[in-house]
Structure 1
């Protein structure tokens, strides 16, 4: 099977051709800031990004002859995980998405290219996958409900790969998946659904290299009204300039972990504190699964760090076996999902976010 993968980022576009699970051609380019500055809204970049993708394919003499085209999901309305054929309703919601990001263009470009080569077009496990059980949604303030935003694509892909490695299906297992990257998400995967997970984007769970995580509410309220920060600056503290960046002035975990391993302060104290908040979140998800946990999977870029993995293991390995699956292979994960759909190993889902709100399973 020949799979074409498209992954637009804020300032870059990554594309790849896979022969089954094997990447046979990969290309990526950074888009110049002055070129992107010409566009007032990300939707205006559609033709620019599509032409860029087609040009790279032409330059590499790769014909539009694929068995499937798959793209990074985009910031759709909350929807369960899985592989989705791209349809008109999905494209409408991406064009009118509440959150503006270049990833919203991926499915639009994939659909156009798939039409040209008469093959199916998919997305899989977008960041807004929402499978939360009802009790996980409420907070102590009725106007605020918990939102599911996490590293769904990688978290579900490594879960399926781990299940296959032990001769089981993802839907057979209870897993805690810890994605360790610029943001950190810790999810409770119950029989193929992520029934609880921290909002890894903007203000919940562990703090991370760039994000603040959960912080004391009263102190945060006082900071918000102190006059020191604008709303935009406060939001940047939550996502972008929080976490390790706020404490240490850097988000380079490789350097920070090296200094921490040598006992250098404040690097060791701050990094250990971050990992402590990760371990606490793992404990919370263990409770969510009522102790019935087949494995804890550590994934994402920080899972390459021997120091970080060792510190985490000593805090959580008595709960369940700890499985190391480092890195975040978005392109490989997308190809894996497309291939599973083509082979009939992964069922195709229908994008229907409004109806799903009334079709959520009860708490376990």
Structure 2
């Protein structure tokens, strides 16, 4: 039994193969810059790795090449021999509140959700369609980033807008990064040696996209991202929290139309808007060289993180652990220090040596006597998708 996990983006295709039922990693990789002359497919397997330039003129060619390589290296002899394919799907709307075993009817319903995530949804659907064509008869499972957050109470998901905006147009807080948060919470419970249903956790998923989630007893009760992945923390190119009147002001006085305003908020803001770079590593390097704009970008980002930790500490009432995950969360000691510094009265006591140590494994970075534990836990969304896919297809 082998499970393929696909994460299809507009110009990328990430994949991993796991053996079932123990979910051992067998192979994985990424096709990048799909459709461009410099497209590149990277793949690793148990006893090797390789790079294949020009192997991804389009998504279909990329996936076909993936299957050829999986067969060549003895991972999957034939795609139809797969037990299941699990797909990351960014948005399930209000209709899909749990992982879904796909069929023609619910796939048609999924297509109707494209307006809720126009940047991500078409690519996610493309991955599902390609896998269905290349793996006929193999069960396909959609795992939604939004599903974990459907436990939000109305006080957290409802915006202060008229009821018709929710009823007729589904305007509400959905939240994202749910698959990552779900995985990290389960790992935290294992590492802390306590049942997840007894823990209150604050999870900071910090990458180019970033969010923070308050988790009570294993259930999401508040999260920083909203109807779209724009709201909340400062991100690589996205604003995060913003006065909703700002776009209207710029449309009236700077001549922006709706498309230009949307592009500004999603692609020209965040770290990029503050200092001209969306790569946190480059921002740190410039700040260390004395660049005032880069220093400000770090200050704004760290301050926003700290505010959310404080707010979610109040929302939860009791916090057992703060968890950092994803690229920045796992590797940026300075940003973790900025997020936690000065929160000693909240019971958060960071250990400087542990925080600064370079390590790829899960580790505790708070002091031994810190009332609130602080952890760095690498995320593995693909493993979580594989686990969910296995569970759904073996019980269906």
What TM-score does the superposition give when structure 1 sets the normalisation length? Answer: 0.79
Q: Tell me which residue corresponds to 1:58.
A: 68
Say yes or no: does 1:192 pair with 2:208.
no
Q: Tell me which residue corresponds to 1:351.
A: none
Deviations 1:227-285 (A, max 9, x none): 43221121122211111101111111012123335654221222111111121122222
Deviations 1:263-312 (A, max 9, x none): 542212221111111211222222222x2222111112111112111211
Q: Tell me which residue corresponds to 1:75.
A: 91
Q: Tell me which residue corresponds to 2:108.
A: 92
Q: Tell me which residue corresponds to 1:297.
A: 323
Say yes or no: does 1:32 pair with 2:48.
no
Q: The residue matched to 1:221 in structure 2 has which SS?
A: helix
Say yes or no: does 1:121 pair with 2:140.
yes
Deviations 1:34-68 (A, max 9, x none): 8x9xxxxxxxxxxx745642443134323232233
Say yes or no: does 1:268 pair with 2:295.
yes
Give 5+ residue unaligned stretches, structure 1. 37-47, 349-364
Deviations 1:100-158 (A, max 9, x none): 430123344445566535xx432324346533211123334324754213111211111
Say yes or no: does 1:226 pair with 2:245.
no
Give 5+ residue unaligned stretches, structure 2. 40-57, 349-371
Structure 2: how far apart are the matches of 1:236 and 1:218? 16
Aligned length: 330
Q: Tell me which residue corresponds to 2:13.
A: 13
> Which is further off, 206-215 or 19-28?
19-28
How well do the aligned residues superpose, as a CA RMSD in angstroms?
A: 3.0
Say yes or no: does 1:152 pair with 2:171.
no
1:218, distance to aligned residue in structure 2 (A): 4.5
Structure 2: how far apart are the matches of 1:235 and 1:194? 28
1:220, distance to aligned residue in structure 2 (A): 4.6
Q: Tell me which residue corresponds to 1:104.
A: 125
> Which is further off, 223-232 or 297-306?
223-232
Structure 1: how far apart are the matches of 2:199 and 2:98? 16
**Closer, same or farther: CA 74–50 of 1 in aligned 2, 3 Å:** farther
Structure 1: how far apart are the matches of 2:112 and 2:237? 28
Structure 1: how far apart are the matches of 2:64 and 2:244? 49
**Closer, same or farther: CA 104–131 of 1 in aligned 2, 3 Å:** farther
> Which is further off, 232-241 or 54-63?
54-63
Q: The residue matched to 2:337 in structure 1 has which SS?
A: helix
Q: Tell me which residue corresponds to 1:281.
A: 308
Given that 1:69 and 1:113 are in contact with CA atoms closer than 8 Å, whether structure 2 keeps it comes out as no
**Closer, same or farther: CA 315–337 of 1 in aligned 2, 3 Å:** farther
Given that 1:183 and 1:208 are in contact with CA atoms closer than 8 Å, whether structure 2 keeps it comes out as yes
1:340, distance to aligned residue in structure 2 (A): 5.2
Q: Tell me which residue corresponds to 2:374.
A: 322
Structure 2: how far apart are the matches of 1:124 and 1:140? 29
**Closer, same or farther: CA 138–248 of 1 in aligned 2, 3 Å:** same
Match 2:153 to one of 133, 139, 143 = 133
Q: Tell me which residue corresponds to 1:22.
A: 24
Structure 1: how far apart are the matches of 2:394 and 2:314? 36
